[in-house]
């Protein structure tokens, strides 16, 4: 199915596709951070469209889905995102998630495996592994301290946090996302069959020292750590570099398995 036919045929509020892929590459599904929307990855999609078909998940309760109820359960987010991806499961899928999106992407990977459509690979960015508990329950803070913590992460436009009207619209989805992340803990440690690449800012103080490397325990395949200059939202200033490594990972994910030596 061509790009235009697929985009016209598939109508779901969960998936955005901003750019036509220039080549017949894999499909990369992007999962935004807590409080984030699909537009957060618009420019990354433009960077990657020559190498992949880029889909971006749009969570409810923000932008054009503002009137919809927010979701405070991370596994429910994964359930619904997986269902929305069913029309693309005839194609090889790779998953990229940043911050909260890493956890959602991991849960989606598990669901795709159960459906017999395992992903090519998972790129987990800006978050500790699923078994690592949060150090602070931010979602339980009052509005003043909650917005202060969000501001410290430096990923939300300051004008959003200082404009009372805009903040009132954004707070429900922000708080719901933090609730979803902080009430989620995967103690089972279920491994995915696909390789995992981990991306992290070198100055990201939100991830415990051992929390990033623990992702290696979540794959039966290859684990590849990649570090970038910057903090939790390193990808905002390192987007060209991030896109280059994503393209490299996609090539590695789709490379034929080495032939066993006799």
Whether residue 219 is predicted with pLDDT greater than 70 in this model: the reply is yes
Whether residue 256 is predicted with pLDDT greater than 90 in this model: the reply is no
Q: Report the C-alpha gap between 50 and 19 in whole angstroms.
A: 9
Of the pLDDT bands very low, low, confident and very high (cuts 50, 70, 90), residue 261 is very low
3-state secondary structure at position 151:
helix
Q: Report the C-alpha gap between 143 and 149 in whole angstroms.
A: 10
Tracing tokens 């708080």 back to the chain, one arrives at 175
Is 41 assigned a catalytic role? no
Give the start-to-end residue ranges of the domains of the chain.
Answer: 3-252
Cα angle for residues 121, 126, 130 (degrees, 5° grid): 70
Residues composing the chain: 262
Q: For residue range 90-102, what is the model confidence (pLDDT) as tens digits? A: 889 999 999 999 9
Q: How far is CA 25 from CA 20, 22, 94, 105, 255, in A?
A: 12, 8, 11, 20, 12
Q: Report the C-alpha gap between 174 and 247 in whole angstroms.
A: 30
Q: Which one-letter DSSP state was computed for residue 57?
A: E
Is 99 assigned a catalytic role? yes
pTM over 0.75: yes
Catalytic site residue from 37, 45, 49, 99 = 99
**Domain 3-252 carries which CATH code?**
3.40.50.1820
* Mode of pairing for the β-strands spanning 53-57 and 15-16: antiparallel
Q: For residue range 120-147, what is the model confidence (pLDDT) as tens digits? A: 999 999 999 999 887 776 776 766 667 7
Across 7-16, 180-189, 230-239, least confident range = 7-16
What the block records as the tokens of 229 is 């200059």
Contact 175, 183 (CB under 8 A): no
Contact 48, 104 (CB under 8 A): no
Contact 104, 31 (CB under 8 A): yes
């Amino acid at each position: 199915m061509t790009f235009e036919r697929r985009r016209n045929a598939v109508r779901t509020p969960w998936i955005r596709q901003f750019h036509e892929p220039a080549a017949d590459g894999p499909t990369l599904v992007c999962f935004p951070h807590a409080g984030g929307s699909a537009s957060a990855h618009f420019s990354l999609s433009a960077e990657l469209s020559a190498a992949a078909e880029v889909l971006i998940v749009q969570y409810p309760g923000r932008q054009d889905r503002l009137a919809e109820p927010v979701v405070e359960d991370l596994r429910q987010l994964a359930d619904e995102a997986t269902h929305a991806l069913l029309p693309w499961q005839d194609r090889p899928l790779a998953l990229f998630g940043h911050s909260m999106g890493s956890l959602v992407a991991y849960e989606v990977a598990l669901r795709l495996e159960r459906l017999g459509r395992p992903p090519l690979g998972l790129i987990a960015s800006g978050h500790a592994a699923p078994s690592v508990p949060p150090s602070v329950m931010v979602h339980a803070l009052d509005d003043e301290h909650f917005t202060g913590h969000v501001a410290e992460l430096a990923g939300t436009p300051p004008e959003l946090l200082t404009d009372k009207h805009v903040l009132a619209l954004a707070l429900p989805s922000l708080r719901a996302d933090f609730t979803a992340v902080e009430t989620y803990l995967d103690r089972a440690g279920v491994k995915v069959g696909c390789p995992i690449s981990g991306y992290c800012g070198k100055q990201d103080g939100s991830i415990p020292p051992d929390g990033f490397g623990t992702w290696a325990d979540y794959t039966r395949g290859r684990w590849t750590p990649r570090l970038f200059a910057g903090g939790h939202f390193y990808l905002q200033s390192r987007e060209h570099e991030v896109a280059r490594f994503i393209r490299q990972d996609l090539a590695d994910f789709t490379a034929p398995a080495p032939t066993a030596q006799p």
